[in-house]
């Protein structure tokens, strides 16, 4: 359920931050995420000059106003640097490439014979062909492409963190991230090899270290 963010200091400061970054914010909502879990988040959506920002009610309960603004500075950094559009284009190219490859293999009798479909006079149901293709031919390609997309996603997260740091919000972003990671029961310092392949967001410790290095450069 979405409700309009009540009038007050938080709303005024969010609109001020959006104006500072020339983000065309039209509406602010609060979502009752606490009815499902203690997970906290903030996100934005909308097209062109009609953008909205949504805050989980759990986020507002877990962190202070300045920390909410720092977290929004991170999210707005994704928009400002074009990450949203870039990721959308990449996902569409990925889907297009996978189905183009499927079209090349759709009439491959060798693929079907390997799984017991020996009668070449009968067409293999499309759903079976899809399952065979994506679980065999496409699987190793998918692993490589997924890793490349994960690397890109992690790079975007570091850039958005840096954007918030450049807004002068480094300390508040760090403390806010620590609080929501604790509340969300996120892994603080997972195995680096595992996280490099599987985590679309860098582990918290890596993000904090990167922000601390940026802080030292600005001093």
Residues involved in catalysis = 75, 161
Geometric angle at alpha carbon 59, from 166 and 192, rounded to 5°: 65
Please report which residue ranges of 39-120 form alpha helices under DSSP H: 57-62, 65-80, 83-105, 109-113
Sheet holding 42-47, edge to edge: 2-4, 25-31, 50-56, 42-47
**Residue 153 C-beta-side C-alpha neighbours within 13 Å:** 19
Alpha-carbon torsion, ordered 19, 23, 27, 30, to 10 deg? -100
Q: How far apart are alpha carbons 170 and 61 in whole angstroms?
A: 21
Q: Are strands 2-4 and 25-31 parallel, antiparallel or unpaired?
A: antiparallel
Q: How far apart are alpha carbons 211 and 154 in whole angstroms?
A: 14
């Amino acid at each position: 359920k979405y409700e309009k963010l009540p009038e007050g200091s938080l709303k005024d400061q969010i609109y001020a931050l959006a104006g500072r970054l020339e983000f065309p914010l039209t509406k602010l909502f609060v979502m009752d995420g606490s009815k499902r879990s203690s997970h906290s988040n903030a996100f934005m959506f909308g097209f062109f000059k009609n953008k909205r920002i949504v805050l989980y009610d759990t986020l507002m309960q877990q962190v202070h106003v300045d920390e909410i603004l720092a977290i929004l500075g991170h999210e707005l950094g994704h928009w400002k640097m074009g990450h949203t559009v870039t990721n959308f284009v990449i996902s569409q190219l990925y889907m297009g490439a996978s189905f183009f490859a499927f079209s090349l293999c759709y009439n491959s009798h060798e693929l079907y014979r390997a799984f017991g479909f020996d009668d070449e006079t009968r067409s293999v149901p499309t759903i079976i062909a899809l399952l065979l293709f994506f679980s065999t031919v496409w699987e190793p390609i998918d692993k490589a492409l997924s890793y490349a997309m994960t690397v890109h996603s992690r790079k975007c997260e570091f850039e958005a963190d840096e954007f918030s740091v450049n807004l002068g919000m480094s300390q508040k972003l760090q403390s806010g991230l620590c609080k929501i990671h604790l509340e969300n029961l996120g892994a603080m310092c997972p195995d680096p090899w595992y996280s490099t392949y599987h985590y679309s967001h860098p582990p918290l410790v890596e993000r904090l270290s990167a922000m601390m290095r940026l802080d030292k450069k600005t001093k």
